[in-house]
């Protein structure tokens, strides 16, 4: 158990819909990262937050948005969902969000778009 | 853009055989991390390499960072069934803001 929690575990929805994925970082961690892992694929970095502010952006689509709240939990919003958005979405956290930080991954949310 | 490639994509070995995965970046990295993801699980941090030419060992696992800091390798000696999973390298490049680019991963199957 990494100490990072993600809800829900599974999400099934239809094309065109909007969903919100939630992540709570490990106690004491200030930085949160979001990743997308499609079937048999690697991890695609989406976005990183540090203490409520966006720190780095990866290959995040315009239909996707995220934020980190004052209590440090984070939400990833996915809208106008397409079949290709079906994937495992991981959240990770680290202490300071620096380049040598260890990232601790949550169990992931499996999104299925029908 | 920056890419991090891993080879091989898949590897099946007999238990007791050695295994190596290679990670290559198109750009110089400031450091590299290795993660292991068991089937159905989430990535778990294994190790970090920072210095050029650095070699680190964890029991049967040996990690190397290339002299030019553009490639890395993970070698497992005498694989066991518990080594099954996908191994990812994650390269970090710092120029302004940094971000980690994960490699494509090597999926290891160990046959008993």
Rg (C-alpha) for chain B, rounded Å, is: 14
Which residues in chain B have Cβ-Cβ distances shorter than 8 Å to A42?
A: 88, 102-105
Q: What is the mean pLDDT of chain A?
A: 94
pLDDT of B40 strictly over 70? yes
Q: Does B111 touch chain A (CB under 8 A)?
A: no
The contacts of residue A54 (CB under 8 Å, 6+ apart) are A47, A48
Which residues in chain B have Cβ-Cβ distances shorter than 8 Å to A43?
A: 43, 88, 90, 102, 105
Q: Does A101 touch chain B (CB under 8 A)?
A: no
Of B42, B88, B94, the CB nearest to A42: B88
Q: Give residue-wise pLDDT tens across range B50-106.
A: 999 999 999 999 999 999 999 999 999 999 999 999 999 998 876 666 678 899 899
Q: Does A44 touch chain B (CB under 8 A)?
A: yes
Q: Does A5 touch chain B (CB under 8 A)?
A: no
- Which residues does residue B49 pair with via DSSP β-bridges, in sequence order? B32
Pairwise CB contact (< 8 Å): A103 & B88: no
Tokens of B31: 């450091």
pLDDT band at A13 (very low <50, low <70, confident <90, very high): very high
Between residues 31 and 70 of chain B, which touch chain A (CB distance below 8 Å)? 31, 33, 35, 41-45, 48, 50
Pairwise CB contact (< 8 Å): A108 & B94: no
Q: Give residue-wise pLDDT tens across range A40-85.
A: 678 999 999 999 999 988 889 999 999 999 999 999 999 999 999 9
What confidence score (pLDDT) does residue B100 get? Answer: 82
Q: Does B97 touch chain A (CB under 8 A)?
A: yes
β-strand pairing of A109-113 with A53-57: unpaired
Q: How far is A2 from chain B (nearest CA, A)?
A: 8
Alpha-carbon torsion (A66, A45, A37, B56), positive or negative: negative
What confidence score (pLDDT) does residue B2 get? Answer: 62
Q: How does DSSP assign chain B, residue by residue?
A: ---EEEE-SEEEEETT--EEEEEEESS--SEEEEEEE-TTS-EEEEEEE-STT-EEEETTEEEEE-TTSSEEEEEESS--GGG-EEEEEEEEEEESEEEEEE---EEEEEE-
What confidence score (pLDDT) does residue A42 get? Answer: 82
Q: Give residue-wise pLDDT tens across range B24-38.
A: 998 899 999 999 999
Of B30, B42, B101, the CB nearest to A105: B42
């Amino acid at each position: 158990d990494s100490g990072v929690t993600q809800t829900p575990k599974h999400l099934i929805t239809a094309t065109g819909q909007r969903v919100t994925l939630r992540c709570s970082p490990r106690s004491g961690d200030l930085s949160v990262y979001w990743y997308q892992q499609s079937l048999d694929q690697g991890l695609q970095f989406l976005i990183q937050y540090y203490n409520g502010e966006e720190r780095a952006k990866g290959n995040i689509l315009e239909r996707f948005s995220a934020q980190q709240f004052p209590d440090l939990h984070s939400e990833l919003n996915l809208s106008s969902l397409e079949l290709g958005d079906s994937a495992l979405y991981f959240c990770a956290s680290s202490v300071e969000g620096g380049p040598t930080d260890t990232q601790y991954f949550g169990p992931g949310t499996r999104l299925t778009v029908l | 853009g920056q890419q991090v490639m891993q080879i091989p994509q898949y590897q099946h070995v007999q238990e007791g055989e050695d295994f190596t995965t290679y990670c290559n970046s198109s750009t110089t990295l400031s450091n590299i991390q290795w993660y292991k993801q068991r089937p159905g699980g989430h990535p778990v941090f294994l190790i970090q390499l920072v210095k050029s030419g650095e070699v680190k060992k964890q029991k049967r696992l040996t990690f190397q960072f290339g002299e030019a800091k553009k490639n890395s390798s993970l070698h497992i000696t005498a694989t066991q069934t518990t080594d099954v999973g996908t191994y990812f390298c994650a390269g970090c490049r710092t120029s302004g803001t940094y971000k980690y680019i994960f490699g494509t991963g090597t999926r290891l199957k160990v046959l008993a």
